[in-house]
Structure 1
Amino acid sequence: MNTDAVDLAGQLARAARTLQDHSGREALAGKRELPTPCADFDVHRLSEHLLGTLVAGAHAAAKEQLPAGAPGPLTEAPWIVFPPLVGRLADAWAEPSAWEGETPFFGRTRPAPFAGMITIMELTVHGWDLATATGRPFTADDDVVATAAAVAARIAENARASGAFGPEAEPAPDATPLERLLALTGRKAV
């Protein structure tokens, strides 16, 4: 495994664990219907979206098509469902072959490193959405934010056209790298 893949695998694992930290019982119990900064999602729908990211990301790392109907609705609480999926996702991307070649990812064949980086971005941005919705502070490692920002910039035009990103927000002059990432995806950090 090359150094970049080792670094990215570590970033992905840390982004997934950060998400897990924000999806525990203490963070989410009784907050299912709270609105999130992601306009179309309440906490439950965002948790279902994140379930999809965890499942699709693990399948992409294994070079497997997502099974029909997967991942399905979130029928148990995230604090029950997410921990084993976080472990599987991190383990899958820790394999050297995960970062090589191409892989099926959300209905398209993509370069494997791109699929891994999109997963890092999804976990980071939506992890912030979840933390913000539930009133918890959110931090992410600088290298994780840099990778998420690089891939967000790469897909921003198409993501805005599809509605996945909102209109780019204006970050404050002294914005942190995380706040700049959030602005790029159409969020305003408060």
Structure 2
Amino acid sequence: MNTHAVDLAGQLARAARTLQDHAGQQALDGKRELPTPCADFDVHRLSEHLLGTLVAGLHAAAKEPLPAGASGPLTAAPWVVFPPLVGRLADAWAEPAAWEGETPFFGSTRPAALAGTITIMELTVHGWDLAVATGSTFTADDDVVATATAVAERIAEGARASGAFGPAAEPSPDATPLERLLALTGRKTA
């Protein structure tokens, strides 16, 4: 595996584990209906979306199309469902072949490296959403934020057109890299 793929696999694993930390019982218990920075999602619906991200990422790493209903409704608590998926996701993307060639991802065939970096971005941005909704402090490693920002910039136009990103927010002049990423995806941090 080339060094770049090793770095990306490590970033994906760290982004997934950071999400898992914010989806624990202590963080989420009794907070299912709290609003999140995603206008369409409360904590439960965001957790269901994140379940979909984890499952889609697993299938993309394996070069398998996502079966219908594979990431159905979240019927158990995220702190029960997410940990085994996070481990499997990290292991799947640690395989050299996961980052090579093309893969089915969210209804279309994409470069595998793009699917992996979109997964990093989704886990990072929505991990922040979950942390904000539940009153937790969110931090992400600089390299994870840099990768998430690069892919967000690459897909921003299409993501805005589809409604996946909101209109870009104006980051403050002293914004951190994470705050700049969040602004790019339409989130206001202040």
Q: TM-score range by the shorter chain?
A: over 0.9
Equivalent residue number for residue 30 of structure 1: 30
SS of the aligned residue for 1:46 comes to helix
Equivalent residue number for residue 53 of structure 2: 53
Is the counterpart of residue 155 in structure 1 residue 155 in structure 2?
yes
Please list, as runs of the form range in 1=range in 2, the aligned pairs for 1:96-107 lying within 5 A after superposition.
96-107=96-107
Amino acid at match of 1:15: A
Is the counterpart of residue 75 in structure 1 residue 75 in structure 2?
yes
**TM-score scaled by length of structure 1:** 0.99
**TM-score scaled by length of structure 2:** 0.99
Equivalent residue number for residue 40 of structure 1: 40
Please list, as runs of the form range in 1=range in 2, the aligned pairs for 1:11-22 lying within 5 A after superposition.
11-22=11-22
Equivalent residue number for residue 4 of structure 1: 4
CA distance in 1, matches of 2:188, 2:89: 29
Equivalent residue number for residue 170 of structure 1: 170
Equivalent residue number for residue 130 of structure 1: 130
CA distance in 2, matches of 1:132, 1:68: 31
SS of the aligned residue for 1:164 comes to coil
CA distance in 2, matches of 1:111, 1:101: 6
Structure 1 window deviating more from structure 2 (155-164 vs 137-146): it is 155-164
CA distance in 2, matches of 1:87, 1:51: 13
SS of the aligned residue for 1:64 comes to coil
C-alpha deviation, 1:70, in angstroms: 1.2
SS of the aligned residue for 2:110 comes to strand
* Structure 2: tracts of 5 or more residues without a match: none
CA distance in 2, matches of 1:102, 1:141: 27
1:30-60 alpha-carbon deviations (Å, 9 max, x no partner): 0000000011000000000000000000110
User: Aligned residues: percent identity?
Assistant: 87
* Structure 1: tracts of 5 or more residues without a match: none
Amino acid at match of 1:164: A
- How large is the Cα RMSD of the aligned pairs? 0.5
Equivalent residue number for residue 85 of structure 1: 85
C-alpha deviation, 1:68, in angstroms: 1.3
Equivalent residue number for residue 185 of structure 1: 185
Return structure 1 stretches of 4+ with deviation > 3 angstroms. none
Amino acid at match of 1:185: T
Amino acid at match of 1:40: D
C-alpha deviation, 1:67, in angstroms: 1.1
Amino acid at match of 1:24: G
SS of the aligned residue for 1:110 comes to strand
